[in-house]
Amino acid sequence: MKKIIFLAFFGMLSQLNFAQEFSADLQLRPRYEFRNGYKTLLNDAQEPANFVSQRSRLNLDFAEEKLKLKFSLQNIRVWGDVSTLNVSDKNGVQVFEAYGQYAFNDRWSFKAGRQVISYDNQRIFGEVDWAQQARSHDALVFSFKNAEKQQLDLGAAINAEGEDLVRKPYELNNYKNFQYAWYHLDFATSAISFLALNTGFEYMNALQQTHTDYLQTFGSYFSFKGTKIFGDLAAYAQTGQRNGLDAEAFYAGANLNYAFNSSWAAGLGAEYLSGKDSDDTSGKIKSFEPLFGTNHAFNGYMDYFYVGNHLNSVGLLDAYAKINFATDKWKFSALPHAFYAPAQLSDNNGNEMQNYLGTEIDLVAGYKLYKDLSLAFGYSQMFGTNSLEVLKGGDAGNVQNWSWLMLNFHPLLFHIK
């Protein structure tokens, strides 16, 4: 059977004419991690974890005059999660992307299927490439492009757990549906985008009936780049409902950077994600949720905030600095963060706590070993406070750190045109 598939595959390639392209690339990405307070503070009774995870991904791309297709398979594993004599994998093989794209003309096109949706700085929509599995959506997206200066995307998705005959509750930890519009406009040295997103989340109401609430997220992202100075500004608001509760939340972020030369740059930035006082009994959602963003890239690499956690909480004010160094072979960055709770934080006895949560220092280095092979290393340390203990548990007096080492093999296997 494998021989038949092999022959059929290369038989298909032999039929490609001059107007078609076909390429395949392979990514193998093993990563060692030492977790001693990653995502949450460890206490005296807990010991650090260490493991190696790996992404193994095969990407197939096909293109002709009006059509583009992509098919991406991946296996995500932890070294040792099955025995050396295993007959099946724990996670198996999953489809990361599988979409077709058709261009009506040089301006209008649509893309249907499993796909990455990523915009701007990836704060609301992002690929989450740091996670070995990354994020993709089953969606339909229409795009309009005008001379590479303007782009309008209109997207929609609807999710179900199977081909049912009658309506059944959607019980996955996922959205039921969404609809969005994203508009982007480029200027000479700047760009601006506008996003309007309507996300439906299904839940069981007090009458044990399946109900879908809709959360609206809308706002704008602006970026600029001069000879030496570059940065960005963003602001978003959230309204609507989720789980029967009204939402009133907002976000603001800004970065300002200065490039000393082609290798060195430094900058300052801050993010404000609204939250809710610990003793607030209003029944409203006041905590901003970044939804489908690449949250690992924001608010510290130790992922204490908004990476599967810190939702419907006191929010976050993150003030940070960054220093970047880059050459053809080397990359280095240092990012200290100071975290604060913008809403009132109280302990279990109702005592008001200070709003300063702690400081995290992130150090990352990367080196290009070969054209298709890179090495990256990171070290982070959290200096937490008693207030962070109230939020996370654990003991802030203990050393809380995290380190990792990652290889990324990513060769192009072949390209036929």
Return the pLDDT at 2: 47
Q: Residue 329 has what DSSP assignment?
A: S
Domains and CATH numbers, the chain: 2-416 (2.40.160.100)
Strand partners, 360: 337, 382
Return the pLDDT at 12: 53
Per-10-residue mean pLDDT, the chain, length 417? 50 60 98 98 96 98 97 98 93 97 96 98 98 98 91 98 92 96 97 98 87 97 97 98 96 98 97 96 95 97 97 97 97 98 95 97 97 97 97 96 98 95
Would you tell me how many other CB atoms lie within 10 Å of the CB of residue 12?
Answer: 11
3-state secondary structure of 387: helix
CA angle 193, 133, 393 (to 5 degrees): 90
Return the pLDDT at 209: 85
Q: What is the pTM of this model?
A: 0.92
One-letter amino acid identity for 104?
A: F
Closest CA to 178 of 194, 163, 156, 160: 156
Return the pLDDT at 13: 53
Return the pLDDT at 15: 54
